[in-house]
Amino acid sequence: MNFELDPTLAADTLEFVSFELCDVRLMNDARFPWLILVPRRHAAVEILDLDRADQDFLWSEIRFAAGVLRAVYRPDKLNIGALGNQVAQLHVHVIARFHGDAAWPAPVWGSGPARRYEHERDKRLDELKAMLAETRPSVR
């Protein structure tokens, strides 16, 4: 079966870039620089569902995404999590957190309604893409 992005994830996120294993999407919540990595593997729910090679790709892509967020935003903390209690399709959150952001020091999940991007969307995508281009020219 082919991979299809979960409709809730599709509705909550914006297309950003495609890595070797994962679609990397921007959470449509302007309160936090927040990437979602979704391995393009049909029916994957747990990290343990991936084969070993994909698990290693995932780790590499998580670290790469975290490095990009760190380079662009200089956050006080990175938050990385694979939860999936509400959306079963395997996805990993990589989030730049700041002292005093809308949820600090709590996790972003359950921190109230998202503030959808308006005019800041292109700026955010552009600054992320610029850093990607700098650090990984071969990204598709």
Residues that bind a second copy (CB under 8 A): 45-48, 55-56, 59, 63, 66-67, 70, 77-86, 97, 104-107, 109-110
Contact status, residue 58 vs residue 24, Cβ threshold 8 Å:
no
Buried b (16+ CB within 10 A) or exposed e, 86-119: ebebbbbbbbbbeeebebeeeebeeeeebeebee
Residue 112: DSSP 8-state: S
Q: Which is nearer to a second copy, 30 or 68 (CB)?
A: 68
Q: Is the dihedral of CA 85, 4, 54, 95 positive or negative?
A: negative
Q: Which is nearer to a second copy, 23 or 75 (CB)?
A: 75
Q: Tell me the two tokens of residue 19.
A: 């890595």
- 11 phi and psi angles, rounded to 5 deg: -75, -30
Q: Which is nearer to a second copy, 41 or 97 (CB)?
A: 97
- 126 phi and psi angles, rounded to 5 deg: -65, -40
